[in-house]
């Protein structure tokens, strides 16, 4: 804490002490509240002349000698309070001991000022909670055309993220994003539930991690005396539920990947996964179009939205691009019938870089990025990945070199990944053992062999379509957030030393 903070804080501590001397409890238990702020404003026609009581924070104070105007802000918005010495007598002096940010309970008669603002003429008030810190004072002015000009916005990203409660307190847009995200999650659950899916929670602490290629967080359970991993995907457990006899399951939860943070990546990210028996990845295409287009309609009233100043058309059906033909067209190669050297040259020609250790399939993956993903803005399904890139997917009946899979790209980032799920226990074992080999050869992100999962498959898993959808990124698109941190309530920053 700096000295300056202390001095502002000291002033408030002194006021708190004075209140105590006067016998005022600055943190009382009881609140009397009949209306929320915006209910008073919107209900003016019925409430004119009626006594109401509101509670909230003092967000502005405008003194006029023997009268004071103040804004009282609660979760709904703000209502103006009018304190008059004539009405309040000695209590009027207590206003001196209130500060911006204090929680206050006030009751009185609803009226409209000369300038037409709905206001409560206060007859009584009491402090509900004294604040010791001065909140940043952000002021706004509404122009005639409805645009809002903001002064001294609390804008430093570091300060905003480190004290997110202050950010959300003084920046309505920050708070709205978080609330919109919650609405989005609720809408998704409704969407899934309406279609007969049930949400089942699967383990976050896992003895083995799988279902994706990523480095995990490791932890230790004292009583079991064993290392455990924080899950990197829900996939393998949700598929066990298909074995168990559930036909439509989903889960919304956090996955943990021990990786760097950037604009679209965060180590604990929220994923929606669903699995539907007797469906294929084609069904997942339809359903993801319906889900996301429906959310756009719900949030924006249209599927033609804007993201970061650029039009984004979410109207289904969405474009599709097949991996192999697209790469072949762009490079003039046949990716299944050319040398690794050709692939490397093609990558360099497209402005990419390669690493010595990369396998053929990693090279193809890189080409995929360069050729397909970078141009994807409006939604695009990238389908038909080489089988070696997708150990948990079923091979395409028409071409065993590729799988029944899509990745969905929107606004330049991957939003979903889906396959017709591999349910052949022997083929699955083979694919996972190939992963384990790659792992032994140094690929830290290759998957491991989960014997219990393979055993489950041997009991029989129905054919199924499955998908994982990145909900942080979906929230970014729906709330026009430039950075993943904006859709997280409390993003992590490096500790200040």
Partner RNA sequence: GAGCCGUUAGCUCAGUCGGUAGAGCAACUGCCUUUUAAGCAGUGGGUCGCUGGUUCGAUUCCAGCACGGCUCACCA
Residue number with CB closer to RNA (124 or 246): 124
Distinct helix (H) and strand (E) counts, the chain: 15, 22
In angstroms, what is the minimal distance from the CB of 226 to RNA? 26
| Token pair listed for 275 | 């699995």
Residue number with CB closer to RNA (86 or 337): 86
In angstroms, what is the minimal distance from the CB of 245 to RNA? 29
In angstroms, what is the minimal distance from the CB of 365 to RNA? 8
Q: Decide: is 18 part of the binding site for RNA (CB under 7 A).
A: no
In angstroms, what is the minimal distance from the CB of 199 to RNA? 20
What part of residues 25-54 is at the interface with RNA (CB under 7 A)? none
| Coil/strand/helix, residue 128 | strand
The secondary element (H helix, E strand) that includes residue 168 is helix 164-170
In angstroms, what is the minimal distance from the CB of 279 to RNA? 22
What part of residues 278-337 is at the interface with RNA (CB under 7 A)? none
CA 398 distance to own-chain centroid: 39
Strands (E), 133-216: 139-142, 148-151, 198-199, 205-206
Judged by CB under 7 A, the stretch of 23-31, 58-66, 177-185, 239-247 that binds RNA is: 58-66
| The only residue of 5, 218, 219, 315 in contact with RNA, by rule CB under 7 A | 5
Residues in the chain: 497
In angstroms, what is the minimal distance from the CB of 15 to RNA? 7
What part of residues 250-269 is at the interface with RNA (CB under 7 A)? 257, 259-260, 262-267, 269
What residues contact residue 78 under an 8 Å CB cut-off, 6+ apart? 37, 38, 56, 59, 71, 72
| Token pair listed for 278 | 């007797």
DSSP codes joined into one string, 58-93: EEEEEE-SSEEEEEEEETTEEEEEEEEHHHHGGGGG
Q: Decide: is 174 part of the binding site for RNA (CB under 7 A).
A: no
In angstroms, what is the minimal distance from the CB of 29 to RNA? 26
What part of residues 386-445 is at the interface with RNA (CB under 7 A)? 407, 413-414, 417, 445
Residue number with CB closer to RNA (21 or 225): 21
Judged by CB under 7 A, the stretch of 27-35, 39-47, 76-84, 290-298 that binds RNA is: 76-84
In angstroms, what is the minimal distance from the CB of 414 to RNA? 3
In angstroms, what is the minimal distance from the CB of 156 to RNA? 4
What part of residues 134-163 is at the interface with RNA (CB under 7 A)? 134, 136-142, 151-159, 161
The secondary element (H helix, E strand) that includes residue 216 is none
Residue number with CB closer to RNA (247 or 443): 443
In angstroms, what is the minimal distance from the CB of 10 to RNA? 9
| The only residue of 24, 67, 200, 350 in contact with RNA, by rule CB under 7 A | 67
Residue pair 390/419 in contact by the 8 Å Cβ criterion: yes
Report the C-alpha gap between 50 and 265 in whole angstroms.
Answer: 52
Report the C-alpha gap between 363 and 377 in whole angstroms.
Answer: 23
Residue pair 350/342 in contact by the 8 Å Cβ criterion: no
Residue pair 461/421 in contact by the 8 Å Cβ criterion: yes
Number of Cβ within a 10 Å radius of residue 483: 16
Per-residue interface string for the shown chain with RNA, residues 190-219, x marking contact by CB under 7 A: ----------------------xxx-----
Number of amino acids touching RNA (CB under 7 A): 84
DSSP codes joined into one string, 241-299: HHHTT-SEEEEEEEEE-----BTTB-SEEEEEEEEEET--HHHHHHHHHHHHHHHHHHH
Number of Cβ within a 10 Å radius of residue 3: 7
Q: Decide: is 356 part of the binding site for RNA (CB under 7 A).
A: no
The number of CA neighbours under 13 Å toward the Cβ of 149 is: 6
Q: List residues bridging with 74 in a β-sheet.
A: 77
Residue number with CB closer to RNA (426 or 493): 493
What part of residues 99-118 is at the interface with RNA (CB under 7 A)? 99-100, 111, 113-117
| Token pair listed for 434 | 């190939």
Q: Decide: is 344 part of the binding site for RNA (CB under 7 A).
A: no
Residue number with CB closer to RNA (273 or 404): 273
What part of residues 450-489 is at the interface with RNA (CB under 7 A)? 470, 472-473, 482-485
Judged by CB under 7 A, the stretch of 131-139, 192-200, 291-299, 447-455 that binds RNA is: 131-139
In angstroms, what is the minimal distance from the CB of 409 to RNA? 9
């Amino acid at each position: 804490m700096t000295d300056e903070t202390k001095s502002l804080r000291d002033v408030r501590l002194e006021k708190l002490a004075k209140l105590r001397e006067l016998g005022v409890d600055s943190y009382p238990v009881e609140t009397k509240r009949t209306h929320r702020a915006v209910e008073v404003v919107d209900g003016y026609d019925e409430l004119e002349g009626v006594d109401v009581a509101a509670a909230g924070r003092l967000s502005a104070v405008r003194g006029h000698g023997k009268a004071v105007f103040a804004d009282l802000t609660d979760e709904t918005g703000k209502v103006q309070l009018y304190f008059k010495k004539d009405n309040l007598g000695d209590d009027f002096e207590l206003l001196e001991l209130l500060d911006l940010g204090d929680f206050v309970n006030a009751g009185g008669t609803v009226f409209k000022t000369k300038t037409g603002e709905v206001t409560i003429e206060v007859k009584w008030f009491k402090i509900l909670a004294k604040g010791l810190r001065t909140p940043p004072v952000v002021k706004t002015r509404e122009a005639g055309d409805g645009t809002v000009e903001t002064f001294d916005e609390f804008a430093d990203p570091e300060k905003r993220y480190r004290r997110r409660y202050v950010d959300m307190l003084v920046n309505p847009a920050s708070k709205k994003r978080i609330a919109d995200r919650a609405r989005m999650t609720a809408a998704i659950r409704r969407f899934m539930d309406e279609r007969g899916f049930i949400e089942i929670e699967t383990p976050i602490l896992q003895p083995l991690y799988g279902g994706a290629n990523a480095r995990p967080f490791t932890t230790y359970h004292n009583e079991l005396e064993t290392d455990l991993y924080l899950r990197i995907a829900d996939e393998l457990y949700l598929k066990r539920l298909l074995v168990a006899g559930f036909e439509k399951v989903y889960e919304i939860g956090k996955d943990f990947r021990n990786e760097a943070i950037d604009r679209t990546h965060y180590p604990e990210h929220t994923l929606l996964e669903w699995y539907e028996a007797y469906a294929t990845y084609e069904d997942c295409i339809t359903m993801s179009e319906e889900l996301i287009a429906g959310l756009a309609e719900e949030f924006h009233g249209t599927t033609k939205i804007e993201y970061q100043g650029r039009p984004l058309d979410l109207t289904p059906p969405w474009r599709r691009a097949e991996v192999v033909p697209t790469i072949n067209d762009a490079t003039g190669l046949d990716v299944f019938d050319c040398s690794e050297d050709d692939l490397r040259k093609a990558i360099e020609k497209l402005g990419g870089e390669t690493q010595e250790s990369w396998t053929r399939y990693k090279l193809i993956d890189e080409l995929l990025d360069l050729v397909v993903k970078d141009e994807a803005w409006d939604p695009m399904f990238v389908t038909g990945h080489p089988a070696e890139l997708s150990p948990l997917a079923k091979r395409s009946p028409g071409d065993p070199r590729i799988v029944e899979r899509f990745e969905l790209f929107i606004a330049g980032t991957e939003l979903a990944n889906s396959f017709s799920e591999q349910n052949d226990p022997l083929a699955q074992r083979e694919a996972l053992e190939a992963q384990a080999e790659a792992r032994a050869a140094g690929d830290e992100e290759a998957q491991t062999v989960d014997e219990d999962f393979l055993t489950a498959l041997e009991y029989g898993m129905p054919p199924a379509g499955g998908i994982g959808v990145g909900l942080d990124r979906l929230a970014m698109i729906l709330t026009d957030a430039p950075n993943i941190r904006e859709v997280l309530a409390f993003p992590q920053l490096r500790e200040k030393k």
